[in-house]
Amino acid sequence: MLSVLAVTFPFFALVLCGYLAVRRGALPMPAIPGLNGFVLYFALPCLLYRFGASTPIAELLDPSVIGVYLLCALIMVGTTVALTLGGRIDWNNAAFGALTAAFPNTGFMGVPLLVALLGARAAGPVIVTILVDLLVTSSLCIALSRLDGHGAGNARAAAGKALRGVAGNPMPWAIVLGGISSAAGLTLYGPLDKTISLLADSASPVALFTIGAVLARSQMTSTDPTPLIDYVPVAFKKLLLHPVLVLIIGGIAIHLGLPLDPFALTVIVLAAALPSASNVSLLAERFGADNGRIARVILVSTAVSFFTFSAAVALLA
């Protein structure tokens, strides 16, 4: 367990540093979008490209990993909406609550953390989970969020808008370009490769620091009180039920003879054990959901995951 904490502690410590920097005023809140922009448009795409280019294309297109992870994401979304919809929670808030329960922070946190824990082989399955969550899970939840008196037509329009947003997100394109490079055996010109490597190396520390800064900003700008029952169960569902579900469904898939690599199953179980993705808060704000509730789910899941994720690694890795 101590060896696991030796790896996980620095990652969560950087999140705490970003949180404290904003809470103490060392990092002004207007600077946070700049950090977010650097990670999203420069550092993280370079990291994903580098891992994609060094991962065999068969691992990036593994149908067993896609099927197991996607099925679990759909179950998480469906059950969370069913359990939370009603009373204070309308379709909009139920949908984005479900997204926090099903969408782990694989982009900003999962890729560097799981590669550090399990080695470069972990990159392929993690990248698959990112594509599933960006293309399917987030689009589905955005469509569900539009069902409050708007009808299926508005939901389809929202899903289309979500997919257009994905098309403008550099992360999937970086993965696609990396996969093409892997399939074609391409290598970049030396100075260009070095530039991408420098940006990729900066992705992990800046992304983790930014997560903490975003969480602090969300907490400081949220003034409406939210009952614990509206967000704590969702956070624990993300941290406990999601990885257990992936482990069970993946185990059944292997038992039925599907070609699911046990190592890949371990990777996606640990990906599911990560806290909620911090960018869900931005989506909730854009679509008019209760961002205070969503921010609290993300904050609780991130704080508690230091213990639950470390325990999951100790049990599985």
Q: Which two tokens stand for residue 81?
A: 């909406």
Q: What's the pLDDT tens digit per position in 244-284?
A: 999 999 999 999 999 999 999 999 999 999 999 988 887 88
Domain count, the chain: 1
Average pLDDT over every residue of 144-161: 67
Q: What is the model's pLDDT at position 83?
A: 93
Dihedral pair phi/psi, residue 104, rounded to 5°: -75, 165
What whole-number distance in Å separates Cα of residue 284 and Cα of residue 79? 19
- pLDDT at residue 155, as a whole number: 61
d(C-alpha 133, C-alpha 234), whole Å? 18
Confidence of residue 57 (pLDDT cuts 50, 70, 90): confident
Q: Can you give the residue range of the structural domain that contains 218? A: 2-316
Neighbours of 31 (CB within 10 A): 12
Residue 71 has a pLDDT of 97
Residue 175 confidence (pLDDT): 87
- Please determine, for residue 61, whether its predicted confidence score (pLDDT) is greater than 70: yes
* Dihedral over Cα of 120, 70, 9, 263: its sign: negative
Please give the average per-residue pLDDT across 119-142, as a whole number: 91
pLDDT tens-digit readout, 187-215:
888 898 899 999 999 988 998 999 999 88
Q: How confident is the model at residue 241 (pLDDT cuts 50, 70, 90)?
A: very high
* Residue 187 zone, left/alpha/beta (φ > 0; ψ -120 to 50; rest): beta
CA distance 116 to 104: 17
pLDDT at 237: 96
Cα 44 to Cα 69: distance, rounded to the nearest angstrom: 22
Number of Cβ atoms within 10 Å of the Cβ of 165 = 15
Which pLDDT does position 154 carry in this prediction? 66
Reported as a pLDDT band with limits 50, 70 and 90, residue 183 is: confident
Mean pLDDT of 77-82: 95
**What tokens appear for 255 in the block?**
């038992």
End-to-end CA distance of the chain: 11
Cα dihedral 219, 42, 288, 22, rounded to 10, equals: 10
Residue 45's CATH number: 1.20.1530.20
pTM above 0.75, yes or no: yes
Average pLDDT, the chain: 88
- Pick the closest to residue 7 from 143, 114, 98, 102 (CA basis): 114
What whole-number distance in Å separates Cα of residue 183 and Cα of residue 1?
38
**Is 183 or 262 the better-scoring residue by pLDDT?**
262
